Amino acid sequence: MANKDKQPKYDKIEELAKRRGFFWQSSEIHGSVAGFYDYAPIGAAIKRKWENLWREYFLQDDNFYEIEASNIMPQPVFVASGHLESFVDPIVKCKKCKHTERADQILEEELKEKFEGKTPEELLEVIKKHKIKCRSCGGLLEETGILNMMFPLNIGVGKNVVTSYLRPETAQSVYVNFSRNFNVLRKKLPLGLAIIGRAYRNEISPRNALLRMREFTQAELQIFFDPDNIEKHENWDEVKDEKITYMPANGKEQKEVTASALSKDLPKFYVYHAVFVQRFFLDVLKIPKKYFRFRELSKEERAFYNKYHFDVELLLDRWIEVGGVHYRTDHDLSGHSKVSKQDLSVQVGDKKVLPHVLELSFGVDRNVYSLMHIFYGEEEQGEKSEGRAVIRFPRKLSPFDCAVFPLVNKDGLNEKAKEVKILLQSSGFSVFYDDSGSVGRRYRRIDEIGVPAAITIDYDSMKDNTVTIRDRDEMKQIRVKVKDLPEKIKQFLEGKRIEDLQ
């Protein structure tokens, strides 16, 4: 199904998301506010699967655990973390219409370069040099400044009002809980504490649907470790020869080097976890290698407390940050110790340690959107295709494991189809049932939302208790016995080709 009008892929994805039930702007009937999105049933299913795969993969270690914490935190938390002083974005304002945008963001989008770490004055100088105008009215961009991105809240009434904030990241929830968790768990380092939860940032100019939101979901794993052990990892030999793709800080070309080679410049504990993150994207999420890389941030670009910082980037129409590997040193625990007047160091063996933190951070919404973008395709009508739009999600990330269709809604076929649906659901599969319209149109619908297998009950099913299974990607079909269906679908979801299921 060729798109002759060359509609941008972002627009196609957002139109499909609304039409098929992935996501749409929140509170649409009341006009919406930019940067807030609601997940519809299909999108919510994919998001849950991504989160569950993340949990399954990153919490393999015996001393890694998931916690849940409040989204609202009192002001001292953000004094300790530095957010109250430093969590700001440079802004530029139109002299004519007063439209405001992030200064670094407008430059990145107009000039296709990175401008992180530049001062407002430096950004304005570049804007003037390139004569960049307001994208709303074409007026001059002259005023710059900074804006703290946190959402403040007043809790309580009268004299009991407590100044608080919606958390701008999930990480601080882990740090303030570290001491108690260390004591109730195994009193052992490394200790991994994970959160999948909401964060809130007053983005100046949210855009591109799920890629830049004001309320979003993060999946973060904070690994607390003894800094004396940063040059080793017990499983180092398993990754030392694995190649890592990254763009060096201030570099012009990507590199691919082994973990051992990279460990000459970076600690082994850090490099090991970079490989671990890369494996998640390439092996679990099945992202094609050409769409994945790390980008090393320079000292000027990265947060002042990060000694080492690799962004995880995926290639959509441009490279988009979807995660990161950050060595935060002891910045967080020392800051919270100072403000709270509580010693957060711990006893490990015969010594006292203030743990350092390695953070593995992921934007869940950005990952969900990136999967849609990378795996979306259009096929022209031809000998091997009837013409269609299709999202070839990895089978484990599809919103439903399979779909069940009766060929027609009569002669007992619909009752038989519902029996097959119940059989598959009782075997643990998520099933999409559809009996409206022609079978061809039903195939098109599930292709667009990425369901990997379609099971059709026809008149032969009533005679010999067999059904057809259709593969979304190749559109090949086989017949199998109903009694064998759960095992066949299990094998298919695990990666077996449909022709090998017979």
Supply 66's token pair. Answer: 């998931």
Instruction: Say yes or no: do domains 9-84+150-372 and 386-501 share a fold.
Output: no
For 434, left (φ over 0), alpha (ψ -120 to 50), or beta? Answer: beta
What share of the chain in percent tops pLDDT 90? Answer: 78
CA dist 175 and 438 (Å) reads 55
pLDDT at 245 over 70: yes
Instruction: State the CB neighbour count (10 A cutoff) for residue 5.
Output: 5
pLDDT at 368 over 90: yes
Give how far Cα 19 sits from Cα of 13, 59, 387, 448, Å. Answer: 10, 35, 18, 10
**Please, are residues 394 and 286 in contact by the beta-carbon 8 Å criterion?**
yes
pLDDT at 25 over 90: yes
CA dist 199 and 83 (Å) reads 13
- The overall average pLDDT reported for the chain is 93
pLDDT at 144 over 80: no
Domain boundaries, the chain: 9-84+150-372, 88-148, 386-501
pLDDT at 408 over 90: yes
**Tens-place pLDDT, residues 303-362:** 888 999 999 999 999 999 999 999 999 999 999 999 999 999 999 989 999 999 999 999
User: What residues does 146 pair with on adjacent strands?
Assistant: 90
CA dist 339 and 138 (Å) reads 47
**Tens-place pLDDT, residues 424-434:** 999 999 999 99
Supply 56's token pair. Answer: 């399954």
| pLDDT of res. 65 | 98
**Please, are residues 452 and 471 in contact by the beta-carbon 8 Å criterion?**
yes
Supply 2's token pair. Answer: 């060729």
pLDDT at 250 over 90: no
CA dist 3 and 1 (Å) reads 6
Calculate mean pLDDT across residues 197-203: 95
CATH number of 386-501: 3.40.50.800
CA dist 3 and 341 (Å) reads 62
Q: Which residue has the higher pLDDT, 131 or 458?
A: 458
Three-state secondary structure readout of 303-369 = CCCCCEEEEEEEECCCEEEEEEEEEEECHHHHHHHHHHCCCCCEEECCEEECCEEEEEEEEHHHHHH
Instruction: State the CB neighbour count (10 A cutoff) for residue 379.
Output: 16
Calculate mean pLDDT across residues 189-213: 93
Which amino acid is residue 256, in one-letter code? E
pLDDT at 383 over 70: no
CA dist 67 and 419 (Å) reads 40
> What is the b/e burial string over 312-335, where b = at least 16 CB atoms within 10 angstroms of the residue's CB?
bbbbbeebbebbbbbbbbbbbbbb
Residue 2 confidence class, pLDDT cut points 50, 70, 90: very low
> Which residue has 């007047």 as its token pair?
341
Longest Cα–Cα distance in the chain: 78
pLDDT at 1 over 50: no
pLDDT at 5 over 60: no
**Tens-place pLDDT, residues 67-95:** 999 999 999 999 999 998 888 778 888 88
CA dist 134 and 99 (Å) reads 7
pLDDT at 384 over 70: no
**Please, are residues 78 and 172 in contact by the beta-carbon 8 Å criterion?**
yes
| pLDDT of res. 100 | 83
What share of the chain in percent tops pLDDT 70? Answer: 97
**Tens-place pLDDT, residues 264-281:** 999 999 999 999 999 999
**Please, are residues 184 and 67 in contact by the beta-carbon 8 Å criterion?**
no
**Please, are residues 23 and 1 in contact by the beta-carbon 8 Å criterion?**
no
pTM of the model: 0.90
Residue 206 confidence class, pLDDT cut points 50, 70, 90: confident
* Homologous superfamily assigned to 9-84+150-372: Bira Bifunctional Protein; Domain 2 (3.30.930.10)
| pLDDT of res. 270 | 98
Using DSSP's 3-state secondary structure scheme, residue 203 falls into coil
pLDDT at 297 over 50: yes
Using DSSP's 3-state secondary structure scheme, residue 142 falls into strand
| pLDDT of res. 251 | 84
